[in-house]
Amino acid sequence: MTILVPDPSTQASLALPTSNPALNSPELKDMARKFHHEFQRFMMEHQFAVDEVLTKVSILREEFLYLHKYNPIEHVTSRVKSPESIMRKVAQRGITPAFEAIRENISDIAGVRITCSFVKDIYKVLNTLTSQSDLEVIQIKDYIKNPKPNGYKSVHAIVKIPVFLSEGPVDITVEIQIRTIAQDFWASLEHKIFYKYEGSVPEHLVAELAEAARVAESLDMKMQRLHTEVHGHDVNSTESHEDRGFDDSVLQELLTIAQQGVSREQNDTSGKQN
């Protein structure tokens, strides 16, 4: 039996082959409708999980800008794998075509990619995100300290995040990729080349990609040195910046109020003693 699962964003019905009359039975159609509904819910849960992570990242960006006047996050992208891509991976890996089995065996259905300015920012963002109490860290793959043979560099964090639905919370797995601008540019180019050659990339291009990876690493290091020379090492220190939203007159008024409060307390204590 073949069931074609459409994109859940459309209202198209499941396409069932009509060559065999048995496949048009009411029982089979009911099963197909039920599967369609459950798959839509499955996709919706993963989209909600992505939204939750994006909210966390947005809050971090605002906090960095507000407190430190520095934002280590350049840009953020996200995606949820298409139903076709999920089912293709299920078939390739021989995973039981059941939703719980898919949850347990495929960790990158929901994905968020964070592009940072510098390598040190990657670890700052990673530590800040993964230390949040409602995120359960399943695995961290550090391809910066241990690059892939082709030169790929990035940090992948596999996490579980609760999605609160009408029937209760559901823990959904999300893959968070964090990389620098140079690493992201290299990875994007490498993906396009491998897609063009369907994985059979000529050896001279593989060698040039590896060399490009080394150039990207050198660029990251050079830009970090320039940034440090201009801004110093304590760019994230709250002590190195003025408090936003307060001027001298406001601070002076607060100091006067505090002094008046201390004077009243002293007078009250003196009165009680007398």
Asked if residue 201 lies in contact with residue 193, where contact means CB atoms within 8 angstroms, the answer is yes
| Strand duo 136-142 + 110-116: pairing | unpaired
Please state, in angstroms and rounded to a whole number, the distance separating the CA atoms of residues 235 and 153.
Answer: 25
Q: Of the residues 52, 74, 84, 175, which is catalytic?
A: 175
- Sign of the C-alpha dihedral computed for residues 201, 205, 211 and 216 taken in this order: negative
265 given a catalytic annotation: no
Contact 7, 83 (CB under 8 A): yes
One-letter amino acid of 120: K
**Residue 168 belongs to what H/E stretch?**
strand 168-180
On whether the CB atoms of residues 171 and 160 are closer than 8 A, the answer is yes
Q: Is 238 left (phi over 0), alpha (psi -120 to 50) or beta?
A: alpha
Distance CA 202, CA 46 (A): 37
Residues carrying an active site annotation: 175
